[in-house]
Structure 1
Amino acid sequence: MRLGTLAMDLRPLRSSRDFRLMFWARVIALLGISLTLVGLSVQVYQLTHSSLAVAMVNAAAGATLLAGTLAGGILADRYERRQLLVLSRSAAAVVFAALALNAFADEPRLWVVYLCAAAIGVIDGISETALLAITPNLVTPDQLAAAGALTAITTQLGTMVGPSVGGMIIAGPGVAFCYSITCVATVVQVALTVRVRRRPPTAVEHLHPIRAMREGLSFVRRNRVIGGLLLMDVAGGLFALPYAVFPEIGERVLHGDPRTIGLLYSAPAVGAFLGAAFSGWVGRVRLPGRALTGTMALWGLGMAAFGFSRHLPLALVFLGVAGLGMILSEILQRSLLQRHTPDHLMGRVSSFWLAQATVGPAAGSVVAGGAASVVGPSAAVVVGGLLCACVVVLVAVALPGFRRVTSAGVVEEESGDGTAEDVLVR
């Protein structure tokens, strides 16, 4: 395979002015937001000297993020999505400004930090859903996988660069400057997003929110492709995200110190970044359902191999492999979801997928932590990884329409005379 087929597909950046604007707006915004994520934890600890208080501020943001994601799904199907992005990110800039003003005060108020963290969760949930829903309107169908890879790599870039830069800023000018930089970055994001062309929403009946959610869930239950990828994503989140046991493995199994634990947390992000950087082949896969099954299995098996590891270098390699499978799975899921969901349901279906991404890490940590208390941390990781791989294979076997779906959006079936024929996905 030539290197050119592996390198990230940059066609969406070259061919779509609007996607290019959204991409750079997201890069700038995520680098700023990553500073604030560190700043919130550090400031709360400085004010309270309590790890529980830090956990609570993260919980406040996480709970409202889920609520914002589900609400964003309804709003993204009801209103013009670019305008929804502009309004939500403008509100975010106001919240970051409030955090900065509070931090600059002689006596910062803890309740302001909690309130702003909760508001950020709601706003981020709405804007992420709107962004996912608008992407199919910005690029051609054959570029959806490439657009997903470019979107995913911005998240990994923010994850790798932001925390370390945020730590340096907090150690120097202080946490208030982190919030200020985030506010400025968000204003720049809004300015770029405003330049994106408006796209009127699909004409749909304004259903009651509960009826609207039920309509979206009904579509997911009926559609083999969307239902299959959501089931696989549940398996990954529940069984192959054992971050809660990393400290115990780093200390008791690998006999390391906090630096070792930090490397364990960083390794999947490194693998994910490399996977996104060399994801050019993903958009050319003829049977993306099978490819998703393989990458999800790679994610689970990578985690299982990490659980068997007793030496740090091998542990980091296997975590990198798990991160590779994780990011390739995300890219394929984005592409399949956006290609097989009608535009008038895109917001709600996107919100279901994003909600799983919100709940998954928390639920996976609970599962891994509970299993570790019974069978030990290494065994918990091994069993979880193997369960993930087994479940995704079972889903693919149970849903032949999922594993046979082609990149053209049809299902490849066998006709009575043994020849292949294509039928529409239902």
Structure 2
Amino acid sequence: MSLARTLIDVRPLRTSPVFRRLLIGRTVSVLGSFMTMVTVMYQVWDMTHSAVWSGAVGLAQALPMVGVGLLAGSWVDRGDRRRIFLVATVGQAVCVLLLAVQGFTGQVPVAGILALVAAGSCFGAVGGPAAGVFVPRLLPKEQVAAGLALNQVTGQAMMLLGPALGGLLLGWFGIGVCYLLD
């Protein structure tokens, strides 16, 4: 077996400019999302010094994801996936922008931060099923597995890099800038 066959197949990046743009956009988005989660956790801890409030951040993200996610898949199947994905993405961006504004002002209570996290999670729960069919629709059948693998590899890498980079940027620039970078 050759070395080329043991490494990840990057043909989709070379052959499909649309997939390449989607992968880059998704990678940057996942990086920003993980930086934001570190920033939210830090901000809530800094405001409350409470493990309960810090745990509430996880609930504010998970409960809407599960609750809305159960219904979102069937709803998305009946609608225009591209439009739904764009609305969900804009909704997430607005939530992060509001987090950035409150990060610079510091005038929002913890419950408000959790509400913004929950709203962003709802938008993510709707956008996820809508985005699920993009890779198979963008690539030839023989490249779909490679495209999905590239999605997985970049997502996993950003799950590792995002919190680390978020912590560094948080220390250098503060809460508002970290949210704004997302």
For Structure 1 versus Structure 2, the TM-score category normalised by the shorter chain is: over 0.9
Looking at structure 1, the residues matched to 38 and 31 of structure 2 have their Cα atoms a distance apart, in angstroms, of 11
Would the alpha carbon gap of residues 139 and 28 (structure 1) be closer, same or farther in structure 2, given more than 3 Å must change? same
Matches within 5 A, 1:339-378: none
CA deviation string 1:149-184 (max 9, x = no partner): 1110121121111111111121122111111111xx
Partner residue, 1:142:
142
Looking at structure 2, the residues matched to 97 and 39 of structure 1 have their Cα atoms a distance apart, in angstroms, of 13
Matches within 5 A, 1:76-87: 76-87=76-87
- Where 1:126 maps in the other structure, the secondary structure is helix
Would the alpha carbon gap of residues 106 and 76 (structure 1) be closer, same or farther in structure 2, given more than 3 Å must change? closer
Name the count of aligned residue pairs.
182
Looking at structure 1, the residues matched to 39 and 140 of structure 2 have their Cα atoms a distance apart, in angstroms, of 39
Would the alpha carbon gap of residues 106 and 14 (structure 1) be closer, same or farther in structure 2, given more than 3 Å must change? closer
Q: TM-score, normalised by structure 2?
A: 0.93
CA deviation string 1:372-422 (max 9, x = no partner): xxxxxxxxxxxxxxxxxxxxxxxxxxxxxxxxxxxxxxxxxxxxxxxxxxx
Looking at structure 1, the residues matched to 176 and 86 of structure 2 have their Cα atoms a distance apart, in angstroms, of 24
Are 1:90 and 2:90 an aligned pair?
Answer: yes
Partner residue, 1:56:
56
Identity %: 29
User: How far apart are residue 101 of structure 1 and its match?
Assistant: 0.9
Partner residue, 2:175:
175
Looking at structure 2, the residues matched to 60 and 68 of structure 1 have their Cα atoms a distance apart, in angstroms, of 12
Are 1:72 and 2:57 an aligned pair?
Answer: no
Looking at structure 2, the residues matched to 106 and 79 of structure 1 have their Cα atoms a distance apart, in angstroms, of 39
CA deviation string 1:341-362 (max 9, x = no partner): xxxxxxxxxxxxxxxxxxxxxx
User: How far apart are residue 59 of structure 1 and its match?
Assistant: 0.9
Looking at structure 1, the residues matched to 150 and 76 of structure 2 have their Cα atoms a distance apart, in angstroms, of 22
- Counterpart amino acid of residue 162 in structure 1: G
User: How far apart are residue 73 of structure 1 and its match?
Assistant: 1.0
- Counterpart amino acid of residue 129 in structure 2: T
User: How far apart are residue 40 of structure 1 and its match?
Assistant: 0.9
- Counterpart amino acid of residue 86 in structure 1: L
Are 1:125 and 2:125 an aligned pair?
Answer: yes
Structure label with greater radius of gyration: 1
Would the alpha carbon gap of residues 81 and 18 (structure 1) be closer, same or farther in structure 2, given more than 3 Å must change? farther
Looking at structure 2, the residues matched to 53 and 109 of structure 1 have their Cα atoms a distance apart, in angstroms, of 12
